[in-house]
Amino acid sequence: MKISLTGAVFGAVMASAVYAGEVLPTAVAFTDGAVEQSLSGMPGDAANGRLIVGDKKKGNCVACHQVSDLADVPFQGEIGPPLDGAGERWSEAELRGIVANAKIMFEDSMMPSFYKTEGFIRPGKAYTGKAADDTFGPLLGAQQIEDVVAYLTTLKE
Amino acid sequence: MRKLTGAILATLLTTPVAFADPVDDTLVLNEETEIVTRTAAPDHLSDSLDEVMSGWLFRGKETRAMQADDFDNPGMIFVEQAMDSWNAVDGSEGKSCASCHDGLETMAGVKATYPKWDEAAGKVQTLQMQVNECRTERMGAEAWPYDKGNAINMEAALSSVSRGLPVNVAIDGPAKETWEQGKDMYYTRTGQLELSCANCHEDNYGNMIRADHLSQGQINGFPVYRLKNTKLNGSHSRFKGCIRDTRAETYKPGSPEFIALELYVTSRGNGLSVEGPSIRN
């Protein structure tokens, strides 16, 4: 399974200046697992979020979740619950918290933390098997998280 | 309160919706050797698993069938190559494996007990290390690189004559410390994806992760001929791939860490039949 951005894209995420209003991965404020504030300071783009959720090289959420709305994406996994109706079960702030770091909402969750940069054991440089270097960044950027959250809020049953 | 609801909801939802269970099938090699592909879990696993299952049960029909007949099993081509090196003189002492061990069939049962503690070396040795010990200390020949050509072929040959016998590695006595190290590794969540072997192979076997049907990650079938890369693969190389896929820094085949992990993972399959060379995708 490939959940990620390539090293090159990581480089880009890290190198780009922190936009005004962007919350750093180390500064995200969780309340009961939820995050109220937009991580990028901007609204999300649901159409782009839909692509990220289904893209093997980006969110790759379908590695573990089924999403009926993404019927065109083959091989959806069954590690986590289907995401259908997630926008009804959870508020926007809760969805942001789950995508940023699901382990706060669900203790010991198997779901990767997509907006986190610290506290890993033997972190690698993407999928090379080598040690992480200074290109290391979160699995998804702040705006990508917002886009995914915007998409999830559209998933109603 | 919300947190609780979320967790409970998620639990309800994760209880299997679509089953992708292992198949109900039996493996008989060459119409004579019965292979135990599922059996009661060894005692040390009683808190986590009831049954242990070979990866064979999680593969498709064609892949399973290929393994049942040696003429269809491409892994056996490499076993034949190893038979040639078994008889070939190599090194300064002018000896072949056969000079001291006679036929390969005298090795029946050996693979089932490896990795094991070696008193003289004062450490746990894998089968490949044992073979290299014979080469460097008894034949005056060079060590074969780990998990590569000659070494993996010979491991497959040694395995082939043990097929059908139950895996039975010792985890107590002097091997215990190494076994504990391997166990720690198995349950440690590594890499940027923070996944342990157990997350995938203990908590989720039978489930699909993207296009892959997760097995228990057993190594009773190693070396494995993979359809994906059309060659024999060692267990350490497989570990390396799985660890890399958690976006972690991995270890090298033949490293002390992988020796420990091999001992531990092998012991999770105590009771299953030796199956290698097996076929997987």
Bridge partners, B122 (sequence order)? none
Residue B20 confidence (pLDDT) = 62
Rounded to a whole number, what is the distance in angstroms from the first to the last CA of chain B? 45
**B265 three-state secondary structure:** helix
Residue B4 confidence (pLDDT) = 36
B153-196 per-position pLDDT tens digit = 999 999 999 999 999 999 999 999 999 999 999 999 999 999 99
Whether A68 has its CB under 8 Å from any CB of chain B: the answer is: no
Residue A10 confidence (pLDDT) = 43
State which residues of chain A have pLDDT below 70.
1-20
Residue B149 confidence (pLDDT) = 97
B242 part of the active site: yes
Instruction: Output the six-digit token pair for B82.
Output: 């190893």
Which parts of chain B fold into alpha helices (H)?
Answer: 2-14, 61-68, 75-87, 97-101, 127-133, 149-160, 176-187, 197-201, 235-244, 256-267
pTM, full prediction: 0.93
Residue A157 confidence (pLDDT) = 83
Rounded to a whole number, what is the distance in angstroms from the first to the last CA of chain A? 28
Residues of B with CB under 8 A from a CB of A: 2-3, 6-7, 9-10, 13-14, 16-18, 20, 188-195, 199, 203-204, 207-212, 240, 243-250
Query: Any known ligand binding at B100?
Result: yes
Given the cut 0.90, state whether the ipTM is greater than it.
no
Decide if A80 and B194 are in contact by the 8 Å CB cutoff: no
The shortest CB-CB distance from A112 to any of B194, B212, B243 is to B194
Residue B21 confidence (pLDDT) = 81
Give B10's pLDDT tier (boundaries 50, 70, 90).
very low
The shortest CB-CB distance from B189 to any of A106, A121, A139 is to A121
Residue A21 confidence (pLDDT) = 85
A137 closest CA partner among A110, A109, A118: A118
Helix (H) / strand (E) containing B118: strand B116-118
Residues contacting B200, CB < 8 A, separation 6+: B209, B214, B217, B242
Q: In B, which residues are within 8 Å of A4 by CB distance?
A: 192, 247
Q: What percent of chain B shows pLDDT beyond 90?
A: 93
Q: What percent of chain B shows pLDDT beyond 70?
A: 93
Residue A54 confidence (pLDDT) = 96
What domains can you pick out in chain A, each with its CATH number? Answer: 22-154 (1.10.760.10)
